[in-house]
Structure 1
Amino acid sequence: MDTTKIEKNFKKLTSSNKIFESVLMIGNASGDFNFTREYKRDIDTPMLMASTTKLLTTTCIYALVQEGKLNLKDELSNYLSKEEISGLHVFKGKEYTFELTIEHLLSQTSGLPDFYLTGTKPVFSKVKDRDFSYSFEEELEWIKHMKARFIPGTKRKAYYSDVNFDLLGKIIEAANASTLQEAYEKYIFSPLNLKHTYLANTESDFIPHTYYKDQRLYRPLFIRSCYASGGGVTTARELMIFIKAFWKGELFDKTFFSKQAQSNPLQMSFYPIHYMGGYMKITASYPFGKKYTLVGHSGSTGAFAFYCLEKDLFIVGDVSQIASPSTGVRLAMRTVLAAE
């Protein structure tokens, strides 16, 4: 493969005054093609997964469904108490909390609001200024004081919200009778022999830094609070191992993917990203050129892990910049288009 254009794109990205560290890895399913570029870090440097963590949570859900411990049609109220979730989803005066299913949460079609970027006091506006922690119970209270976006399962509608996956984390714990870290270990880390990937949840867990513009951010309290929606830490090398196993069916029956009829577009701020059963779907193309499909996930820190179906390429990396998380997505898209 001619990697000249890929190298040019990476050099252009890292020569800008907006990116201070970055890493990019590309590989194919057979393993006979590997390409790596590093900028002030390497493929074994710990990195924040941010929302790429959602792929770990998705893996556990599908593994538990495969074992018969869960059903995607199960209602949220089967796993969390009525007192805990009552009032979570109210749309135009009517409560839909007890109609929410695992499938709604997994596909971001619950209609639950987002506390990270929206609301009267978005979490993002606070975390870039200071470190703080929050509990799952506090997260639910934030959501209860916000307006739901639509009725669960409304056709052609999806709304990205971290609470969907944090609720899935609690469902995993209930179904597996374990902590979420133990579930990750059982279904992902141990089978793949990942030694440097973990859910950050204790004071002893190392928390990597990231950047907001030119400010180096270290937010251990916040990262340890992010739980099933964004609390993962990994390296580019191990993220590549994981994303290959995820799409090749090594962790669960990959026919789960073929059973998903359609993707749904997320809110406009996420354009052009669509969402499916626990992962993002993006179309990359030059004007009037051939289109390529990327499936996987990105995170608010600029971490990403995608698979291009048409070219059989896996692409992982990080741009470490929360002021512009879409930069990681654009790097993945440009990498696919440049791969010849």
Structure 2
Amino acid sequence: MTPPTSPAFRARLSRPRFLGAATLSLTAATALVVSASAAQAQPAPADTPLAIAPNVEVTADDTAAGALPGGTAGTTAENLLADAVIADVLQARGSGMSALDAQDRDVRVDIREASDGSAFGVAIVTAPSATEESPYAWLFAADHEGSEWTVGLEGTEVFSEILSASTLLGEEERETVADSTNPDKVSASSYTGVGLPYSIGSSMIMTGGPHGFSSGHPYSSADFAGGNGQARAARGGYAYSLCTGWTRVIHNNGYSTDYYHLENYQWLPGNNVGTGHYLGTQGNSVCAGGSSTGAHIHFALRAYTDPNAAGWYVALHGRTLGGWTFQEGAAYGGYVYRSGVGTVYPGGSVYNYGF
């Protein structure tokens, strides 16, 4: 991440709430799959025009763009912010723009909020279409001091520090998300306090056991289909639509959950949702690349407890969700078990007991 340029962030004025989907130019992602030990690349020099690279797309709501500081006759204010965001994304991914281009990956920066020197949005690295490769996505918060942007990616202390010191989002949302994603303030255990991605008291077929978003570890995900086909929040929290078909819900217990491939989709720009809130239906949406065979809900678990992991996906193995403890085997294999009930393998029906 880019280190802060100042030990404190200046006070800011109030701003409007989050803008709805109708005013947004939507960009997307599905999921992060990367080891916390991945090599860290050096950020690109500040004068590198990352935002105008051929595989970069920068979008901003008109109101947000107009509230951004900086900008010159040759470089827009949104591109200056995007440069700083992309530099942090490249560092987090341990990659460079040319390497991503060679992999047929794009970088998208969606600036969704801006007010009095602060900004909030989504940063994305897409996946090649029709492949098993994985896209990546982060919420980001940024602070402008002097002539530079300081950026924090979701799951880092910098993200939480910038967000909590700003007036971005609503007050309760801002404080909850900042605290819930701060690795200094949260802890996680094998009991996650998270259910399954459908209504408590109902069942779906586990079509795929623990697996990653691609072929590698961590096996953070499981696939579900059948039942009434509806995807619902596994626990309450703040829900962010990252593309039309993918939602992330940040919970208040050190975890967040992702729901991908959704259709009949509800756009949620930071809504405070309860357990069981409707998100969409099982489907084959691939709004940021990748692939899907057969309509299903791709459900994944993320945690914010490691300051070096930046909110990466975490293994389901040994963790209890929906009353079932997950055990991994080969990718898409493994099983879930519940004391007094038994063991369910892929292809079997899993009842959501809640948490």
Whether the TM-score (by the shorter chain) exceeds 0.5 is no
Higher strand share: 2
Q: Which has the higher contact order (CA 8 A, sep 6+)?
A: 1
The normalised TM-score by structure 1 is 0.31
The normalised TM-score by structure 2 is 0.30
Higher helix share: 1
